[in-house]
Amino acid sequence: MMHDHTENIQRLKTIEGHIRGIQKMLENDQYCIDVIHQIQAVQSALNKVSTRILDGHLNSCLTNAVQGDDPAERDRVLNEITEIFQAANKG
């Protein structure tokens, strides 16, 4: 299923620029706590993109699979969601 990822791509480009800024901060030996704050901002921004993509998946791919006639496909898609949450909670 095709999705419009235009906004997510733009967000990732912004994050990419932010990461380059963090690299410059390190090159310029900026204060460590300031660098960490910027890294946390990037992590938060990446989490938002991930959440947006997951939301799109839940409202399209998952919905189609659950409403479909193929029990194997339903199980596959539901297992994917479980795996995502398990991976996110490691650590």
CB 41 within 8 A of CB 25: no
Task: For the domain made up of 6-88, give the CATH fold.
Answer: Methane Monooxygenase Hydroxylase; Chain G, domain 1 (1.20.58)
Identify the pLDDT of residue 90: 82
Identify the pLDDT of residue 91: 59
Identify the pLDDT of residue 1: 59
User: For the chain, what are the domain ranges?
Assistant: 6-88
CB 22 within 8 A of CB 42: yes
Residue-wise pLDDT for 13-52, tens only, equals 999 999 999 999 999 999 999 999 999 999 999 999 999 9
* C-alpha of 89 from chain center: 14
* C-alpha of 38 from chain center: 18
Identify the pLDDT of residue 46: 97
